Structure 1
Amino acid sequence: MRIAVIGAGAVGGLLAALAARAGHEVLVTARGEHADAIAAAGLRVDGGWGAWVAPVELVRSIPNETVDLLVLATKAHDSTAALAPWSEHDGTPVLVLQNGLGGEQAVRDALPHSPVAIGLALFAVSLAGPGRITVTGPNGLTLGGDPAAVAVAEPLLRSALPGGGAPDGTAELVLAPDIRGAQFTKLLVNQVNALPAITGLSVQQTVADAGLLPILARGMVETVAVGDAAGVAWGRIGGVDAEAVARIRTGGTAAADELARALAAGMGEVPNPASMLQSIRRGCTTEVDQINGAVVALGASLGVATPVNAALVALVHEVERTGRHLASTDFAAALAARIDSTEARPADA
């Protein structure tokens, strides 16, 4: 199969390298020093799925030749700009591999004749340096969306994921009958993302911090309330399913606290910086608007208050602007001030 990965950063780069190792022809786009390193020596991968160098082809202009699948793996807020040069490939199936919401609609706007599949990656991966990717959590992937796109993406993923995507292998490919429900469960899981960006701590350190964990738990409770108000049929993502969501619905922050601890434990001992903190470290904007901001926007439309998520959005943007993290000892006061100002506004403001 011939695929093009648009945005071969951590997640996209790993999929590109896995596909190349499985024998597929892989084109990738990247920027800056990362692109230069790929052009010079390929993509270097190490960590949980072994070490190898993937001979992917860096494309600096859009190929005229046919590709079988486009993989959109940029940050969700970069989707529109990243897709614009690919207009001549309208009709080619697209796999959206991103955190948060918005990428699917960007594809439908830019490539209206392309069927769209959505992949929700559970593997933890870091861009360790230009051209170098480290797998810290060798987990699976959930796939759903347009059947025509899934029919193309599924065999690629089954061939590329270690273990063939089989449940008894080292990675599992799960087909979701309702990808929207799975996306909202991923939004719940991605509540672990914003606090590391704000504090500079790993996910494991965040969950272990007695001052930060209650904030994370409250953000999870808000996410469940918004999803419920939207009528979401919560889907399974890894070990998080509708029963886990129901426990948060009835048990509140205590149940969310338990889920957060389980998620951190599942990441192992290697510090997981989460994708937003990786973006901050590279001087890039994060996808906070497409994760926590999506919860806030939907909550506002449904009349559900989301003061913690709103405060997290504001504080992540503050770190983006200043480049300075907040010490966890100072964070509670900063967050309380943000929540107070948010709660003073009506939910539909």
Structure 2
Amino acid sequence: MAALKILMIGAGGIGGYYAAKLAEAGHQVVLTARGNHLQALKADGLTVDYEGQVLRHGLPACDHQTLIRDYHPNDFDLVAIALKSTATGAVMTELCDWLSAGSAPVLSLQNGVDNEPLIAEVVGEARVLGGLAVRIGGHITEPGKVFAEGVAQIVMGAWPAQQPKDDPRADLLKVLEVAFNEAGIPTTVTENIRYELWRKLVINNGVNPLSALTHLDTRSLTHHPEFGKVVYGMMAETVKASEADGVNLTRQDLDDMFELISNFNAIKTSMLVDKEKGRPLELDSIAGAVLRRCAQLGVDAPYTFTVNALLRQQQ
């Protein structure tokens, strides 16, 4: 397969790991970052520690102003976004004119269910691929260095759904599925990406906010006699909230997701890492997304409401 040209917007734990794996397979990857992390990437390259395997790659890295100046969106076969969801709106505003000047498809690999609509406002739905990183934990350990763990799967699909006929994204998704799998990234394509995004949000809302509040890892939470019930309760509220988007998750989805996270590695969630480092939390895109939709439906979400309120009081 010919090498793909991929722009990875956000070279943190998730974006850095996938970028390194794609570069290892011979694809041309450009990173965006900022601050000390960017300076280290430019000086010493990207180093990823993945469960004891170390990947090192000297990849082109730049900030967004340099990206706008030195590149055209059509220089890339794919623009992937692996930023915190709290940054999506601001970055879409920042890159609006640049992205609008081209036709490159944009893939979100972020938490939450509200990123794809923000991207679509800028580039149009026909260029948007929804995606999620599954069973992966990762974070920047120091500038230029990333730690990642887990199976690190990707699920992707045309957003909000693949058109039945002549959707140009269908061929691209096949190419990406093959390329990512050959790069050692277990990847599947779905025709119902919104369903998959909501299933991921069930897990994220179940463990991310509560881990930031309690400073416990995912396994400690799910196996705790009291907190395990809170995790399940927050997951159940997320399942209910999905009805507002017409996704209609079921009790089976709830039980599947609880079993999945209960048997996953004992990881620090991204929200717990952010809390420890004093960074903004992705509360609005996780708990907030659930609370807004429950309000639309006229139903209470007491577990999510309480944990969200306690975390906001601490910020």
Q: Does 1:152 align with 2:172?
A: yes
Alignment match, 1:220? 235
d(CA) in 1 for partners of 2:178, 2:213: 36
Which one is further off, 181-190 or 143-152? 143-152
Q: Which runs of 5+ in 1 are unaligned?
A: 235-241, 249-255, 322-349
1:186-242 superposed Cα distances (whole Å, 9 cap, x missing partner): 1112122111111222112222322211111111121222224654154xxxxxxx6
Q: Does 1:208 align with 2:226?
A: no
Q: Does 1:287 align with 2:282?
A: yes
Inter-CA distance 49–117: structure 2 relative to 1 (3 Å threshold) = farther
Alignment match, 2:153? 140
3-state SS in 1 of match to 2:30: strand
3-state SS in 1 of match to 2:284: helix
The Cα of 1:273 is off from its aligned counterpart by 0.8
The Cα of 1:264 is off from its aligned counterpart by 3.0
The Cα of 1:23 is off from its aligned counterpart by 1.1
> Equivalent of 1:41, from 27, 41, 44?
44
The one-letter code of the counterpart of 2:274 is S
Alignment match, 1:75? 84
Alignment match, 2:209? 194
RMSD between aligned alpha carbons? 2.4
> Equivalent of 1:6, from 6, 9, 15?
9
The Cα of 1:159 is off from its aligned counterpart by 2.4
The one-letter code of the counterpart of 2:33 is A
3-state SS in 1 of match to 2:53: coil
Alignment match, 1:329? none
Alignment match, 2:271? 276
d(CA) in 1 for partners of 2:52, 2:25: 13
Equivalences for 1:229-244 in 2 at 5 Å?
A: 230-234=245-249, 244=252
State whether residues 126 and 278 of structure 1, in contact with CA within 8 Å, keep that contact through their aligned partners in structure 2: no
Inter-CA distance 308–201: structure 2 relative to 1 (3 Å threshold) = same
> Equivalent of 1:54, from 51, 54, 57?
57
1:235-261 superposed Cα distances (whole Å, 9 cap, x missing partner): xxxxxxx6732xx5xxxxxxx5x8535
d(CA) in 2 for partners of 1:294, 1:39: 36
Alignment match, 2:258? 260
Equivalences for 1:164-203 in 2 at 5 Å?
A: 164=182, 171-190=185-204, 191-203=206-218
Alignment match, 1:103? 115
State whether residues 48 and 138 of structure 1, in contact with CA within 8 Å, keep that contact through their aligned partners in structure 2: no
Q: Which runs of 5+ in 2 are unaligned?
A: 160-166
State whether residues 47 and 135 of structure 1, in contact with CA within 8 Å, keep that contact through their aligned partners in structure 2: yes
State whether residues 196 and 206 of structure 1, in contact with CA within 8 Å, keep that contact through their aligned partners in structure 2: yes
1:315-336 superposed Cα distances (whole Å, 9 cap, x missing partner): 23233x2xxxxxxxxxxxxxxx
Which one is further off, 96-105 or 64-73? 64-73
d(CA) in 2 for partners of 1:315, 1:24: 44
The Cα of 1:47 is off from its aligned counterpart by 2.2
Which one is further off, 223-232 or 78-87? 223-232
3-state SS in 1 of match to 2:21: helix
d(CA) in 1 for partners of 2:191, 2:124: 23
Alignment match, 2:163? none
Q: Does 1:64 align with 2:71?
A: yes
d(CA) in 2 for partners of 1:35, 1:173: 28
> Equivalent of 2:24, from 21, 24, 36?
21
Which one is further off, 142-151 or 26-35? 142-151
The one-letter code of the counterpart of 1:318 is Q
Q: Does 1:88 align with 2:98?
A: yes
Equivalent pairs counted in the alignment come to: 294
d(CA) in 1 for partners of 2:170, 2:104: 12
Percent of pairs with identical residues: 28
The one-letter code of the counterpart of 1:152 is L
Alignment match, 1:252? none
Equivalences for 1:288-307 in 2 at 5 Å?
A: 288-307=283-302
State whether residues 78 and 107 of structure 2, in contact with CA within 8 Å, keep that contact through their aligned partners in structure 1: yes
d(CA) in 1 for partners of 2:211, 2:124: 36
Which one is further off, 184-193 or 109-118? 109-118
State whether residues 219 and 308 of structure 1, in contact with CA within 8 Å, keep that contact through their aligned partners in structure 2: yes
The Cα of 1:177 is off from its aligned counterpart by 1.3
3-state SS in 2 of match to 1:138: strand
